[in-house]
């Protein structure tokens, strides 16, 4: 059974919860992370599955976005049958480690802002995860989860940002492009070298754009660096192109 339970409100933090689940699955293994949308098969009793998953967990991560406690005119947390409320109360009653995870600049709710059964939840120290330092914050959270008794897979491999793997492949392509550039200059084939370099930069830029769409600051800087590198590297080719017939 999964040892890490991710509790979240879909209308409040679905994207962040999914991103968090992906990174924790990479660090601890897919079988160790429970998120309802992924872990519950069709036809299974939703309430029973959640209760069993919470009971088998060592850590419950309560993902809190800006609208977690004020989502609607009549807060869903006030409903005794609300799933998020049931998940957290179940974990508290079982003495399971409950970690509030703040996303989207959310603030930890006070005890007087919560229903009475959830009031003890307000005393739990929160862990903030920011887009600007996502990799660092997830690594810090992973260490906390390890201390709670959940082992990382592959002998404790450090959580890596997907941009790192993409950058490796894209950089390799850029190296080939630069090699073509050097060869082109030597053979006075400036146009071919320019095309090779720009193709490499284009691939790197496309890769970076996916990370920009995912709000990764590293992707933005990678794209800017690619453009700057392409511009600087092509400057020596301008005289050759101007002399071309």
| pLDDT 10s digits, 200-227 | 666 666 666 655 554 455 555 666 666 6
Residue 53's pLDDT is what?
83
Q: How much is the average pLDDT of 82-90?
A: 90
Residue 60 confidence (pLDDT): 96
Which SS3 state, helix, strand or coil, does residue 103 take? coil
Model confidence band, residue 191 (pLDDT cutoffs 50, 70, 90) = low
Across the beta sheet with 4-7, what order do the strands follow? 33-34, 4-7, 59-64, 97-102, 127-128
pLDDT at 42: 80
pLDDT of residue 215: 46
Contact 20, 28 (CB under 8 A): no
Looking at the chain, the whole-number percentage of residues with pLDDT higher than 90 is 32
Answer whether residue 168 shows pLDDT above 60.
no
Residue 190 near residue 234, CB atoms below 8 Å: no
Q: Name the pTM for this structure.
A: 0.63
Asked whether residue 113 carries a pLDDT value surpassing 70, the answer given is yes
pLDDT band at 156 (very low <50, low <70, confident <90, very high): very low
The closest alpha carbon to 118, from 68, 163, 71, belongs to 68
pLDDT of residue 105 exceeding 70, the answer is: yes
Closest CA to 91 of 3, 1, 151: 3
Contacts 24+ apart (CB under 8 A), 222-225: 222/163, 222/167, 222/170
Answer whether 93's CB lies under 8 Å from 129's CB.
no
pLDDT score at 91: 94
Give the residue among 159, 167, 170 at the shortest CA–CA distance from 203: 170
């Amino acid at each position: 059974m999964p040892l890490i339970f991710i509790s979240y409100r879909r209308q409040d933090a679905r994207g962040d919860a999914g991103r968090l689940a992906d990174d924790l699955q990479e660090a601890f293994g897919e079988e160790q992370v429970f998120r309802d949308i992924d872990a519950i098969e069709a036809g299974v009793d939703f309430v029973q599955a959640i209760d069993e998953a919470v009971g088998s967990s060592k850590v419950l991560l309560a993902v809190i976005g800006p609208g977690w406690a004020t989502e609607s005119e009549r807060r869903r947390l006030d409903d005794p049958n609300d799933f998020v409320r049931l998940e957290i109360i179940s974990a508290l009653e079982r003495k399971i480690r409950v970690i509030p995870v703040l996303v989207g600049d959310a603030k930890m709710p006070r005890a007087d802002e919560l229903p009475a059964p959830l009031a003890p939840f307000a005393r739990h120290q929160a862990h903030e995860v920011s887009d600007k330092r996502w990799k660092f914050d997830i690594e810090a959270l992973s260490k906390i989860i390890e201390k709670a008794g959940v082992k990382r897979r592959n002998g404790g491999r450090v959580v890596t940002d997907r941009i790192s793997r993409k950058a490796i492949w894209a950089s390799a392509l850029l190296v080939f492009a630069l090699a073509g550039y050097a060869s082109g200059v030597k053979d006075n084939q400036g146009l071919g070298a320019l095309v090779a370099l720009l193709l490499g930069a284009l691939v790197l830029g496309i890769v970076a754009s996916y990370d920009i769409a995912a709000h990764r600051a590293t992707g933005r800087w990678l794209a800017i660096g690619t453009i700057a590198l392409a511009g600087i590297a092509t400057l020596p080719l301008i005289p050759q192109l101007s002399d071309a017939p």
